[in-house]
Chains A and B, each alone.
Chain A
């Protein structure tokens, strides 16, 4: 228990000497880090549609010019109703996700009630703030997106964060990572000029839009992984709503891609 009497999971770990205190903040010294010493996870996106919040990410992790891994999971399930997508350094991000998952479970078990939506959003914010020292030195920068179903309001909510831990609730969509300029452009366009706004889209349309946005990012950004049909590596797409979290099976994604390919074939060649 903390001094205030409210048990808090990070405090418990610190008391047991398991979790180090956040390092003091120093201004960066010397030049940038040597190329290739940090693995980065790249493009993620999330938006609201008629059936909740959809969250998707490509599968590539890079380090400088190298592709380190092409099956990275950047959309992580924190609990039954919360999703977190990560862009930045997986070493830090995956640890943050683990910490969040354990914090929420610990709270639920010890307090005999679910942590509120506000509490969950703040918990991630605090982890990011503890990471500022590292981030300022150019190590372990993480820019996550967080989405969860809020039973109190019967509504799926979506937040993005900056490096320092400020959280911003989003009305329509959020994107992060190196491919995010392309993703933002595609989503913005679809939302404003598409056949209907994202909030009115059904699941099929939403999945298609997410895949197109990631595909566009892969075209424009070398660090974003395109679909590897040969190796059958597809983006990770998850949806959160009042029923919990659904991971879309590859078969559904393949179908969406095939329909898009068919459309492209039917267009006249210049």
Chain B
């Protein structure tokens, strides 16, 4: 039955719904780019969600832990092998995602007899020599979006992922209205946590817009009692070539 094109499209649609449902509870992740580097922030209850992929690349992911682990390993292996055979300079997020990760995800997603990856990812790469930072979100079907990176005249200084699309778009709306450039690290962490709270609030309230400042701060305080802030900095001024650093909050 799957051989019929209509059935195939239907099967893909079902699969999409199933995966979206599985991801729906995913706690948001925020990346903010600034003068001192890229800050990744989220609130975690039970497991680590932010990871180092290579010298200048970090990843945050929501979804099934087993799938996240496999994708994380793929990223580390591809970047590590490239960095060893050529050089660390030759490792790039754009190539990692467009040649390795995205085709892998698309393939698994569309092979409807096999299991798809239940994961949504956010990648960040520090720009070299004054180039803009690349922030990229990659979905379970292999589709990805970037902040523009070096291709854009005005790349957005943030990227977000969340369990639901509505929640992610509310976070983006909130961040577009918030001043991000020129902030200190603590101020950016604060903005990041507010954006996380916006995402967390709108996960359950589908029809709401961006919540008011009071709602945000009340909900944020309540949530931080239950979970721990997980934050990572890709340090633009790191003393060694490894830029990934966990921040103690």
Contact = CB atoms under 8 A, between A and B. Distances in A.
B77 A12 contact: yes
A80 B239 CA distance: 10
Interface of B is mostly: helix
A44 to B, nearest CB: 23
A29 interface: no
B80 A12 contact: yes
Interface in B55-104: 72-73, 76-77, 80-81, 83-85
Interface string A69-108: 0000000000010000000000000000011001001101
Interface in A142-184: none
B85 A9 contact: no
Contacts of A105: 80, 242
A65 interface: no
Given A1-B73, A110-B73, A18 B81 contact: yes
A109 B48 CA distance: 13
A106 B80 contact: yes
A239 to B, nearest CB: 16
Given A80-B240, A105-B242, A110-B73, A9 B80 contact: yes
Max chain A C-beta neighbours (<10 A), residue from B51, B72, B76, B81: B81
A3 to B, nearest CB: 15
B53 interface: yes
A102 B73 contact: no
Interface in A103-119: 105-106, 108-110, 112
A7 B84 CA distance: 16
A241 to B, nearest CB: 16
Interface string A1-19: 1000001010011001010
Interface of B: 48, 51-54, 72-73, 76-77, 80-81, 83-85, 240, 242
